[in-house]
């Protein structure tokens, strides 16, 4: 099956080129081609997942047939397909298929360029997930990023998308440059770009300044892509202005790629030299993850622009998944691998519900939509609430299993306090979504005049009905997100896949075509009664906080304080940091690299 792996990249790229060449075509052939190409890629990715699950090591395909030499020197470009990478590619293909179907009835005249950009995005994402070569990971990520910039600024006649796309491009280009510098340092040291070969060259060697700097540059660059704090400022600006079909894919999988990349390069390249310093490296990465989860949750709670609300919910959830990877244990990776698809599908489904509201009501502002939920089919309300409860980790649905596994893994390495971070971040983000649902669909809570201009509909003239395909898209994503963690046997399968993902000797031997050593013993993971209790308490707490916000306009403890209290002043200053000024965002990104580099230097 690995011989067909290159087709997962070739099909979307080839059809995208055909669509661009067929600009004079009518709309329907373009849409049919886009959906067909994405569906074919999805089928191939599913087959790769099944095949990878049955293999003891990654499936390897050397493009052009240039295989490793007898001395373990790799000259060809390798695709190394493990279950987790193939699953991430499958998630991307699912989201692109749903977004393509949604686009079909969302825009009046999208033209072939929009689906072509979506297919380029898919090809880059799949290529990145399946690549076994460090430089090609960079290339595929940048191909995906360039298409994402264009998708963000797709409505080029409006200043908002141009500003959001420019912020997106500038900050992410800084991250890309840092990644390229990190790759150059590793190439200069090892003379290799293949992940397995680089890892073998560094394994057993003492850690030195070059290794630390290259690790910090690569991790920092991928944290920019993941939108971890303080690299996160671009994300909300981009998501707020991107067309809803593009935002469906962005929120569902794009930032998660940065987390996957950090896990991949650590376990295949740096695990050997950094193993003696794992505890210190863990502390640095978990610090970034915790701040990301909490700041994203707080900013989510104070948003009234629904796209920005979901954007900050994405940032918070990225922080939680990053905690799993930052634990640097197979169990942590397993938890993150369960968390990413469940949360991604649910966030994407919520964006589809938001797209339905924009399509029907012509507004994206929570206050403007007060009590207007009756204008869309009632099922949209149930789907929106179900998605919010899924993100709240209501046992046994949605993100519950992934969060429970990460919490248990954190406790095993002395980070039991992470449970409080999960509780607060999950409660606040879910409360913000439930507050929006109550205000929009039930008309609860007071409303007020909106001083700022409300974004106009993305689809002028398309109101008056809700196409069935839009509702079906939301239902598919949210039901899949709710059911993912409850699939029989999923916990054991993901745990085994994570154990193989973190087994560097087996990965290297398989890719370099050497005798494969015996794999590490798979340690069991479990979900205990404490996790179930925390899940129910979190869900009930989110409902209570949402009710308090609808009843009082703010949390009750703030009512006893004057308008100049510390909490309110802090929130005002926090919102002002998200200024929309590219120069500010660049300064924060540079500060983030300095903090990360300094932390790694102290840690090693």
pLDDT digits (tens, 9 = 90+) for 370-386: 888 888 899 999 999 99
pLDDT band at 401, cuts 50/70/90? very high
| Gap between the Cα atoms of 465 and 469, Å rounded | 12
Q: What is the mean pLDDT of residues 126-155?
A: 92
- Give the DSSP letter of residue 393: T
Q: Residue 509's pLDDT is what?
A: 86
Supply the mean pLDDT for the chain. 88
Q: How confident is the model at residue 453 (pLDDT cuts 50, 70, 90)?
A: very low
pLDDT band at 519 (very low <50, low <70, confident <90, very high): low
Least confident of 15-29, 124-138, 322-336, 506-520: 15-29
pLDDT at 27 over 60: no
More confident residue, 597 or 113: 597
Q: Which is more confidently placed, 572 or 556?
A: 572
pLDDT score of 481 more than 70: yes
pLDDT at 24: 56
- Mean pLDDT over 319-342 rounds to 95
Question: Is 70 exceeded by the pLDDT of residue 26?
Answer: no
CA distance 201 to 279: 23
Q: State the pTM of this model.
A: 0.94
pLDDT tier for residue 77 given thresholds of 50, 70 and 90: confident
Give the three-state DSSP class for 55: coil
Q: Minimum mean pLDDT among 60-64, 346-350, 475-479, 543-547: which range?
A: 60-64
Ranking 47-61, 466-480, 568-582 by mean pLDDT, the lowest is 568-582
Of the candidate ranges 60-64, 102-106, 258-262, 295-299, the one whose mean pLDDT is the lowest: 102-106
Residues 221, 313 contacting (CB under 8 angstroms): no
The pLDDT of residue 556 is above 90: no
Q: Which residues pair with 440 in a beta bridge?
A: none
Cis peptide, bond prior to residue 480, ω within 30 of zero:
no
Of 299, 297, 241, 231, give the one whose Cα is nearest residue 262.
Answer: 231
Count other C-beta atoms under 10 Å from residue 242's C-beta. 28
- Look up residue 47 and give its two tokens: 């087959």
Give the model's pLDDT for residue 93: 95
Output the CA–CA distances (angstroms, integers) from residue 173 to 222, 240, 589, in the order listed. 11, 20, 11
In this predicted structure, which of 45-59, 259-273, 311-325 has the lowest mean pLDDT? 45-59
Q: What percent of the chain has pLDDT over 90?
A: 59
What pLDDT was estimated at residue 409? 93
Residue ranges in 400-489 assigned as alpha helix (H): 400-412, 418-441, 468-484
* Digit-coded pLDDT (tens) for 427-439: 999 999 999 999 9
Residue 391, Cα to own-chain centre: how many angstroms?
Answer: 14
| 235 pLDDT more than 60 | yes
The long-range contacts involving 136-141, CB below 8 angstroms and separated by at least 24 positions, are 136/77, 136/193, 137/261, 137/264, 138/176, 138/179, 138/180, 138/183, 140/9, 141/176, 141/179, 141/225, 141/257, 141/261
Q: Is the previous residue joined to 218 through a cis bond, with omega within 30 degrees of 0?
A: no
Mean pLDDT, rounded, for 14-23:
84
Dump pLDDT digits (tens) for 165-195: 999 999 999 999 999 999 999 999 998 899 9
pLDDT at 545 over 70: yes
The residue ranking higher by pLDDT, 332 or 508, is 332
pLDDT of 353 strictly over 50: yes
pLDDT greater than 70 at residue 304? yes
pLDDT at 168: 93
pLDDT surpassing 80 at residue 28:
no
* Over residues 238-262, mean pLDDT: 91
pLDDT at 458: 60
**Mean of the pLDDT values across residues 44-73?**
81
Provide the b/e sequence for 275-297 (b: ≥16 CB within 10 Å).
eeebeebbebbbebbbbbbbbbb
User: According to the model, what pLDDT value does residue 280 have?
Assistant: 94
Are residues 363 and 454 in contact, defined by beta-carbon separation less than 8 angstroms? yes
Task: Look at residue 492 and give its three-state secondary structure.
Answer: helix
The predicted structure's pLDDT at residue 45: 95
pLDDT of residue 461: 45
Q: What is residue 324's predicted lDDT score, i.e. its pLDDT?
A: 96
Report pLDDT digits (tens) over 263-274. Answer: 999 999 999 999
User: With contact defined as beta carbons under 8 Å apart, do 27 and 53 qualify?
Assistant: no
C-alpha 524/C-alpha 114 separation (Å) is: 45
């Amino acid at each position: 099956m690995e011989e067909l792996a290159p087709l997962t990249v070739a099909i979307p790229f080839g059809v995208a080129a055909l669509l661009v060449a067929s600009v004079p075509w009518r709309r329907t052939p373009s849409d049919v081609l886009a959906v067909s190409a994405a569906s074919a890629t999805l089928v191939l990715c599913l087959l790769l997942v099944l095949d990878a699950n049955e293999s003891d090591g990654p499936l390897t395909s050397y493009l052009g047939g240039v295989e490793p030499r007898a001395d373990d020197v790799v000259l060809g470009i390798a695709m190394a397909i493990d279950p987790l990478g193939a699953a991430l590619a499958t998630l991307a293909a699912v989201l692109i298929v749903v977004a393509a179907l949604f686009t079909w009835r969302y825009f009046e005249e999208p033209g072939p360029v929009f689906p072509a950009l979506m297919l380029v995005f898919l090809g880059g994402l799949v290529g990145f997930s399946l690549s076994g070569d460090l430089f090609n990971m960079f290339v595929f990520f940048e191909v995906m990023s360039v298409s994402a910039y264009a998708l963000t600024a797709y409505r080029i006649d409006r200043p908002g998308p141009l500003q959001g796309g420019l912020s997106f491009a500038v900050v992410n280009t800084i991250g890309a440059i840092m990644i390229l510098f990190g790759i150059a340092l590793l190439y200069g040291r090892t003379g290799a770009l293949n992940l397995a070969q680089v890892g073998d060259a560094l394994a057993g060697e003492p850690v030195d300044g070059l290794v630390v700097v290259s690790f910090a540059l690569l991790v920092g660059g991928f944290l920019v892509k993941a939108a971890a704090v303080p690299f996160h400022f671009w994300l909300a600006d981009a998501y707020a202005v991107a067309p809803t079909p593009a935002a469906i894919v962005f929120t569902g999988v794009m930032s998660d790629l940065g987390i996957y990349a950090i896990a991949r390069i650590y376990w295949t390249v740096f695990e050997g030299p950094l193993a003696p310093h794992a505890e210190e490296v863990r502390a640095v990465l978990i610090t970034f993850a915790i701040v990301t989860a909490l700041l994203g949750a707080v900013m989510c709670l104070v948003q009234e622009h629904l796209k920005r609300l979901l954007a900050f919910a994405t940032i918070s959830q990225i922080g939680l998944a990053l905690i799993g990877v930052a634990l640097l244990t197979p169990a942590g990776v397993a938890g993150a691998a369960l968390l990413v698809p469940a949360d991604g599908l649910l966030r994407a489904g919520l964006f589809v519900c938001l797209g339905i509201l924009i399509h029907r009501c012509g507004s994206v502002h929570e206050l403007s939509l007060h009590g207007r939920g009756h204008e869309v089919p009632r099922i949209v309300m149930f789907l929106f609430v179900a998605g919010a409860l899924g993100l709240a980790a209501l046992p046994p649905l949605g993100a519950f299993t992934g969060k429970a596994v990460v919490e248990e893994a954190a406790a095993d390495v002395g980070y039991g306090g992470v449970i409080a971070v999960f509780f607060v971040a999950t409660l606040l983000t879910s409360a913000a979504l439930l507050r929006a649902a109550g205000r929009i669909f039930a008309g609860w809570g007071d409303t007020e005049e909106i001083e700022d201009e409300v974004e106009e509909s993305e689809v002028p003239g398309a109101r008056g009905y809700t196409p069935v395909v839009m509702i079906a898209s939301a239902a598919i994503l949210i039901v899949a997100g709710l059911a993912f963690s409850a699939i029989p046997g999923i916990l054991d399968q993901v745990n085994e896949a994570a154990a193989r993902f973190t087994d560097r000797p087996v990965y290297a031997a398989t890719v370099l075509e050497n005798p494969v050593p015996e794999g590490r013993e798979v340690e069991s993971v479990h979900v205990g009664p404490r996790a179930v209790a925390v899940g129910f308490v979190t869900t009930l707490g989110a409902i209570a906080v949402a009710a308090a916000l609808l009843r009082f306009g703010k949390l009750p403890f703030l009512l006893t304080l004057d308008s100049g209290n510390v909490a309110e002043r802090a929130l005002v200053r926090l919102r002002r940091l998200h200024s929309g000024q590219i120069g500010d965002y660049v300064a924060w990104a540079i500060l983030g690299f300095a903090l990360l580099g300094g932390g790694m230097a102290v840690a090693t």
